[in-house]
Amino acid sequence: MPEGIAFGGDYNPEQWPLEVQEEDVRLMRQAGVNLVSLGIFAWVLMEPAEGVYEFGWLDTIIDRLHSADISVNLGTPTTVPPAWFSRKYPDASPMTREGVRVGAGARETACSSHPAFRAASARLAERLVARYGEHPAVVMWHVHNEYGAPLGECYCESSVAAWRDWLRHRYESLDALNTSWGTAFWGQHYGEWDEIDAPRWSHTVVNPAQRLDYARFANEEHLSHYRLQRDILRQSGKPVTTNFAGTVNCKSMDLWRWAPELDVIANDHYLNGEQPDNHIQLAMSADLSRSLAGGGPWLLMEHSTSAISWQPRGIAKRPGEMRRNSLAHVARGSDSVLFFQWRASRYGAEKWHSAMIPHAGTDSQIWRDVVSLGADVGRLAPVKDGRVTSEVAMVWDWESYWALELEWRPSGDLRFRERVDAFYEALWREHVTVDFVHPSADISGYRLVVVPSSYLLAESSAKNLQRYVESGGHLLVSYFSGIVDENDTVHAGAYPGALREVLGLSVEEFHPLRELETVTLTGGATGRIWSERVRLERAVAMRHFTDGPDTGHPALTANAFGGGTASYLAAALGGDDLRALLGEVLDRAGVSRPRDLPDTLELVRRGACAFLINHGDAPVTVTGLTGTDLLTGAPFTGEVPAGGVAVVNEAS
């Protein structure tokens, strides 16, 4: 791996004539590029006909990069099978839930379960490792591209065959399957394994437990396609990764299951150009990536210099935004600043996507900013490998995400990300760095654990949360958590079955609100989406509903349990209301945070360095922080200019 923080991006030289490729290397050096990802979409160039391999072109490019001291993250090209493959194996093209065969000419056009696709993928990995495994420029492997985006679940014949095997293995008996899926409802009992189909589109709701299992199965199929290649590539002794699309565009992969299978966590992040304060979502994506990496460093594999072509409007980044974005990822644990892509394509689907070299060439603001960012990144070597620690964790469980967003929930406004985003934003504005955790994880080290609408909660996970509180932890649970088990079956008794005891209450009935309806809490906070009838058992009420269907009943409660406290928020608060209330919970849990900074200043500590990122329009003065600003090389003056960044090495 490059020394220091890696800088560069996806490089697709196959789109350019030789003179441009030669210029590329010269410009990469000028910008301080030290790592590029190659080959991700180049299957047909590597294998122009079945079993005919051509790597001469790739040898030349890798050698050219090597002579310029630029390292290579070498991709396996399985995201886009060649036209010959699609013609020879038409049944390897994925099928959507609606039964539509995915057309060629795009990408993600092969099914991860198809035997011919698997065999071809393995052969490619073998060729690549044999040829480049010992090449000094090749420092790591990049398998496939963004598994699950856009193709999460495939409904083709190969998938259905693999699904039946997966079910046999999971349940062993049809009795167990029938019980878990609740097939007594709507007369769906299965008497033979081969009667079971994929939960394909139907004109009304399909069994939710079957859907949930299919989501698990689809995740495992992609994962096993990854593992197949990884095990071959690992023969080189070099690290293997695949790029996640963690919080953007992809909820179909359960990344808690993927993370242990990667040698280094890599994530792609794209800002939602339309969203105000989208740097908060960026921070969340980075925190999630670090959490997947177990708190250690990870790689930002892709982000954009400016506009993104696949959003409704290609919103350009404002002055300084690319720099703030890049450094925010590093602040939260990334050991790289990598982009999609090096040079803007002149043709093809992504020609309107920004790049490190725009169509305008090097006489452009983007290029000047890239060169200057490369210099900044070069100064951040002391940050590398530094760890970020957090006192607060938030539960993030993909299975619950999938389950909550199936059809026919008590309210169509219930969304996993809606609650996660609301809590995350409130914590971000409080300058609290967050780790994300699976509900079964070891959470004993945190002062506070937030559980935002974790609808699906296995009994064992609920017990884990309960033990945490018992031994002194603080838990904040939002409504509609702990409602069903892993089969989408309601936990027995009053809601929330899995958490009643630790919360010291029960919920008799849900009262979802109409679209624009709101409810008010004592103290004035306003809730949307949700109201419910809470019955106190041992918990005490801290706020009540003052209007709406549950007027006079508890809206926020606290329950002393063992050595800790479990709080419960029965309303969907947001913005300043949520922040104020969360502030009380953070205080009770003893979570330390700066009190005198504007909520536009991002402050994150990584190793010995404090990153100060000013997203506001006015300069911010920070007191009590001394050391060298790595970006200027001079002592930190205490001032962070509007839109500016300081990285203060407090150990200096």
Q: Which residues are at the interface with ligand GLA (CB under 6 A)? A: 145-146, 245, 268, 270, 302, 308, 310, 340, 350, 353
**Helix (H) or strand (E) segment spanning residue 120:** helix 115-132
**Helix (H) or strand (E) segment spanning residue 252:** none
Least distance in angstroms from the C-beta of 422 to ligand GLA? 26
CA-based nearest residue to 640, from 618, 609, 608, 610: 618
Find the DSSP H helices in 498-605: 500-503, 575-589
CB crowding 361-393: b at 16 or more within 10 Å, else e = eeeeebbebbeebbebbebbebbbebebebbbb
Pick 258 or 340: Cβ nearer ligand GLA: 340
Pick 132 or 270: Cβ nearer ligand GLA: 270
Least distance in angstroms from the C-beta of 350 to ligand GLA? 6
- Which residues are annotated as catalytic? 146, 302
Pick 11 or 468: Cβ nearer ligand GLA: 11
Is 456:316 a contact under the CB 8 Å cutoff? no
Burial of 259 (0-12, 13-18, 19+ CB in 10 A): middle
* Other CB atoms within 10 Å distance of the CB of residue 278: 16
CA-based nearest residue to 581, from 526, 519, 500: 526
Rounded Cα–Cα distance for residues 574 and 581 (Å)? 10
Least distance in angstroms from the C-beta of 285 to ligand GLA? 12
Q: What is the 3-state secondary structure (H, E, C) of 443-487?
A: CCCCCEEEECCCCECCHHHHHHHHHHHHCCCEEEEECCCCCECCC
Least distance in angstroms from the C-beta of 269 to ligand GLA? 9
CA-based nearest residue to 199, from 102, 111, 114, 99: 99
For 219, the token pair is 């995740």
Pick 93 or 145: Cβ nearer ligand GLA: 145
Rounded Cα–Cα distance for residues 36 and 29 (Å)? 12
Rounded Cα–Cα distance for residues 370 and 323 (Å)? 9
Is 464:440 a contact under the CB 8 Å cutoff? yes
Q: Determine if residue 314 is left, alpha or beta; phi over 0 gives left, psi from -120 to 50 gives alpha, anything else beta.
A: beta
Least distance in angstroms from the C-beta of 304 to ligand GLA? 6
Pick 68 or 264: Cβ nearer ligand GLA: 264
Pick 268 or 397: Cβ nearer ligand GLA: 268
Least distance in angstroms from the C-beta of 79 to ligand GLA? 8
Pick 250 or 450: Cβ nearer ligand GLA: 250
Least distance in angstroms from the C-beta of 346 to ligand GLA? 16
